[in-house]
Amino acid sequence: MFRVSRATQATLLLLAVAAGAAKGQLSTDTYQYDARGRLAIVQTGGGVKTTYSHDPADNRSNVKVLRQGETTATQEKWEAESLPHATGFAQYAGWGASVGSPVTAMTYGPYTNSVPSGAHTAVWRMLIDNNASLSADAVVVLDVNDSEANQVIASRVLTAQSFAASMAYQVFELPFFVDLSRVGHHLEFRTWYQNKAYINVDWISRI
């Protein structure tokens, strides 16, 4: 996959004005450009990631489309409301938690033991009620946990500013690596609510 250096990456955020396909909700698409101003990645709020690479003459040489919200032979997906919960409430679209909900796991599990060795990515489709806060406080923490070893192998903190728009679903990725010693272990992709804002999780996948 073509990767953009964090030091040179520019990001443009666009709120999709049309209702998303999933449950009629708005979604946020994000666009990433490389150091030469060429479109590198388009991430839709519906869960489709398109990656572009270019030849030395700046022509697009390859396009890779990844559908992150599908279940395939190499991908897994779970609706948030189907997973275990320690806080929050079921909604028509996904699982929500609002200010006043206990600070604990909105979702945990699914304890999948079918992740092969190698590099993978956990994916969340989520929204926040208001992304205007400039606070550096976490609104939600995502992690990948090896339940056999009781060890977090990857984590990501999201603030309000991590969300490109309010009340619009956005996709967040968390890369992780499974070495041979973890093959067959039951893994969790957990969502830790921080009682700072309303958060809704639509689905979680592993690619």
User: With 70 as the cut, is the pLDDT of residue 129 above it?
Assistant: yes
Mean pLDDT of all residues in 91-100: 92
Same domain, yes or no: 87 and 58: no
Query: In this predicted structure, what is the pLDDT of residue 4?
Result: 35
- Ranges assigned E (strand) in 3-73: 10-15, 28-33, 39-43, 48-54, 60-67
Name the residue range of residue 200's domain. 76-206
Note whether 107 and 176 are same-domain residues.
yes
Q: Is there a contact between 171 and 44 (Cβ–Cβ < 8 Å)?
A: yes
Identify whether 18 is part of a domain: no
- Total-model pTM: 0.81
CA distances from 39 to 4, 50, 57, 156 (A): 10, 10, 14, 25
Query: Are residue 142 and residue 175 in the same domain, yes or no?
Result: yes
Peptide bond into 110 cis (omega under 30): yes
7, 34, 67: which is the final residue of a domain?
A: 67
The verdict on 60 and 134 lying in the same domain is no
pLDDT at 12: 35
According to DSSP, the residues that pair with 191 across neighbouring strands are 107, 142
Our count of domains for the chain comes to 2
d(CA 140, CA 108): 13
49 and 102 in a common domain:
no
What pLDDT does residue 16 have?
37
Task: Calculate mean pLDDT across residues 131-159.
Answer: 95
Per-residue pLDDT reduced to its tens digit, 44-92: 888 888 888 888 877 777 888 878 877 777 789 999 999 999 999 999 8
Whether 17 is in a domain gets the answer: no
Asked whether residue 117 is domain-assigned, the answer is yes
